[in-house]
């Protein structure tokens, strides 16, 4: 009797668990013939450029057969995508670091020279150092997004719907 009850409970939990299972669909940006690829899942942030020269940015709401739904509003056909932009997080960190170093350096050195009655308050070396850090931050900001052109030779997009 205990054996039958055990089998019944295991079967019950098994079938209840199956009813809540759904597949994980994937939007795939890949380099043909290579291992390199980037996978996007439902809930991921994405930036897409369409062939009509419009840019769509937002969270992936759903991935269907040949259709990507972004922000529960935009339906994008896979054939309409001309480019995908990816954020490079290393440059994001460099951007934050350089700006967080350059601006305070300028302010602290200027305040220090004012307190010590030194003239000029902003000397040449302060301008060079803080200016270099701020310019490096601005250049890093320009390099944060990388554009992957979809031409089916270098990069292509695919949907993996299970």
Q: What percent of the chain has pLDDT over 70?
A: 94
pLDDT of residue 4: 74
pLDDT of residue 9: 72
Residues 49, 157 contacting (CB under 8 angstroms): no
Give the tens place of pLDDT for each residue, 11-58.
767 776 665 555 689 999 999 999 999 999 999 999 999 998 899 999
CA 92 vs CA 16, 41, 57, 131: distances in Å: 44, 22, 18, 19
Mean pLDDT calculated for residue range 69-97: 95
CA–CA–CA angle 65, 66, 69 (5° rounding): 90
pLDDT of residue 69: 94
List all residues 6 or more positions away from 13 whose beta carbon is below 8 Å from its beta carbon.
Answer: none
Q: Identify which has the larger pLDDT, 15 or 67.
A: 67
Q: Identify which has the larger pLDDT, 82 or 17.
A: 82
SS3 call for 28: strand
Mean pLDDT calculated for residue range 88-109: 95
Helix axes 89-115, 124-142, angle to 10 degrees: 160
Would the pTM of this model clear 0.75, i.e. be above it?
no
Average pLDDT of every residue of the chain: 90
pLDDT of residue 18: 60
Output b/e per residue, 93-128; b: 16+ Cβ within 10 A.
ebbeebbebbeeebeebbeebeeeeeeeeeeeebee
Give the tens place of pLDDT for each residue, 127-157.
999 999 999 999 999 999 999 999 989 999 9
Q: Quick one: pLDDT band at residue 159, thresholds 50, 70, 90?
A: very high
Domain residue ranges in the chain:
23-86+146-160, 90-142
């Amino acid at each position: 009797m205990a054996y039958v009850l055990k089998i019944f409970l295991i079967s019950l939990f098994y079938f209840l668990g199956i009813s809540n299972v759904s597949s994980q669909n994937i939007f795939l940006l890949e380099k043909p013939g290579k291992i390199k690829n980037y996978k996007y899942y439902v809930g991921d942030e994405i930036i897409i450029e369409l062939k009509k020269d419009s840019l769509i940015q937002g969270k992936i709401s759903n991935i269907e057969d040949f259709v990507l739904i972004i922000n529960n509003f935009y339906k994008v056909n896979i054939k309409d995508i001309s480019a995908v932009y990816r954020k490079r997080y290393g440059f994001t960190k460099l951007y934050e670091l350089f700006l967080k170093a350059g601006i305070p350096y300028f302010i602290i050195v200027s305040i220090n020279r004012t307190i010590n009655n030194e003239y000029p308050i902003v000397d040449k070396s302060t301008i060079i150092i803080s200016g270099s850090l701020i310019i490096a931050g601005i250049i890093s900001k320009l390099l944060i997004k990388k554009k992957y052109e979809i031409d089916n030779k270098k990069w292509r997009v695919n949907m993996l719907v299970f």
